[in-house]
Homo-oligomer: A and B are copies of this chain.
Amino acid sequence: MKKRSMLPQPVRDFLAASRDRHLAELFELLSIPSVANVADGSCMRAAQWLLRRLEGLGLSARIVTGEGQPNVVAHLHVGDDRPALLIYGHYDVQPPEPLEAWQSPPFQPQVRDGVLYARGASDDKGQLYAHLMAIEAWQRAGGGVPVNLKMLIEGEEETGSPHLEGFFAKHAEELAADAAVISDSEFFTDGLPAITYSLRGLAYVEVTVRGPAQDVHSGTHGGAVRNPLNVLAGLVAALHDDRGRVTIPGFYDRVLEPSQQERAEWAKLPFDEAAYAASLGLEALTGGEQGWAALERRWARPTLDCNGMIGGYTGPGAKTIIPASARAKLSMRLVSRQNPREIVANLDVFLHRLCPPGVTVEVQLLSQADPVLLATDSPATHAARESLLEAFGHPPAMIRCGASVPVTELVQRLLGLDAVLMGFGLPSDNLHGPNEHLRLEQLWGGSLAAAAFMHNLAARLR
């Protein structure tokens, strides 16, 4: 292992002195309601904001439009003797609903008690912004960025990056790099940084059951007309057995169990199940398959969750109808060698087989991502370890994550590169829910880690 050198003091000083301005700038980005699902031009506004900011940092940047929301691509060549680093982030955010559950409006950022509240504060605008701060610090106070930079800032991560594979196929040469870093993950727990070396994959579908041509009276017709909503509930229910296992044929065929060594290491992590449950407002963690520890169920076992369901009358009071149709959004988190395409095909056949006569069922794929397992001994991983230690004062844990970041698998498969997942969020940031937030200390530490990472990577790959 090479000797580690510290981040130059002027870079540190610059970051420390720029906090107010940096926070004001991040507020601008967080104020743009760039939900990928919503076609109101907000995503383009966020992309344009990033374009201007990257150009201001001396990068050559452009917006690439095509299918779906625009991507931002930027470059900075500092020397042929320097390694090339690809930095990935995403500017799109989850839909903010339910709005009434937010203490301050999701797109009006607010700092309360040293915590920044906004949709995207942690996922992923804040974490992405840490890299922009780091680039600026190197450019203005450190004698220039110590690596050749390539940046890809995506606009559809939260909808499963449906167009990113095509984008990578088209721009593989341009995006080729010696290392890649993704900051869209989190610490293991408060005070314990982490490098995430495995992500679950995703298969996300919408299931629609259709019955009568329109809503009909449930008194007059009830007992004769099969009810699409009852059928859909039955289909969703049939996807688990009474031990919490998913019943789709072949679902577990390609699942690799974690090694005994991995399980033993996870068991040593400071995971307080009761505290974790309490942080979610729960008495106990009762989801998932029986026979596996909670961390194992979150990291190494596949799941199937209903993310949304609607049908019939949902307003106040009673309305006595059999609805014409009902819809459910279902997502499966996949592990090791499960293949989302195969699993969706099996689900489709299974639901058609289960669907009773008198109604029809349709399965529509909304997004998919392959699970990914990353190398843990690459130069980039070592550089990330050093950087997190320097920035946060504690060496990182090596962990898995139950979520998906589709770009990770694409970088691996299409660029031949194992990215390092160096995240600055905390598990309590409430990603995807109301009152998403990022502690400012994590943001400032993230900018130090991002700056140190360029430095440490340059040293390791020079």
- Complex Cα distance, B159 from A443, in Å, reads 53
- Closest B residue to A356 by CB, please name it: B286
- Contact, CB under 8 Å: A329 / B306: no
Stretch at the interface among A2-10, A76-84, A106-114, A316-324: A316-324
A229 at interface, CB cutoff 8 A: yes
A249 within 8 A of B: no
> Is the beta-carbon distance between A212 and B280 smaller than 8 angstroms?
yes
Residue of B224, B282, B308 touching A287 (CB-CB under 8 A): B224
Closest to A279 in B: B213
Chain B residues, CB < 8 A from A287: 221-227, 322, 358
Q: Does A340 contact B (CB under 8 A)?
A: no
Chain B residue with minimal CB distance to A367?
Answer: B318
Contact between B297 and A308 (Cβ–Cβ < 8 Å)?
Answer: no
Flag A283-304 by CB within 8 Å of B: 1 or 0 each.
1111111000010011001011
Interchain CB contact under 8 A, B212 and A303: no
Quickly give the copy total for this chain: 2
A234 adjacent to chain B (CB < 8 Å): yes
Does A214 belong to the interface (CB within 8 Å)?
yes
Given pairs A158-B318, A307-B319, 20 additional interface contacts (CB within 8 A)? A37-B318, A37-B319, A95-B315, A101-B214, A202-B219, A212-B282, A214-B435, A215-B432, A216-B433, A218-B333, A222-B298, A222-B333, A223-B294, A223-B301, A224-B287, A225-B280, A226-B287, A234-B237, A286-B359, A308-B321
List 28 A-B pairs, Cβ < 8 Å: A37-B318, A94-B320, A95-B315, A95-B319, A160-B318, A202-B219, A213-B282, A218-B331, A220-B401, A221-B287, A222-B333, A222-B402, A224-B288, A225-B287, A226-B286, A233-B309, A307-B318, A307-B320, A308-B323, A309-B309, A309-B310, A309-B312, A309-B326, A310-B311, A313-B329, A314-B327, A317-B366, A318-B331
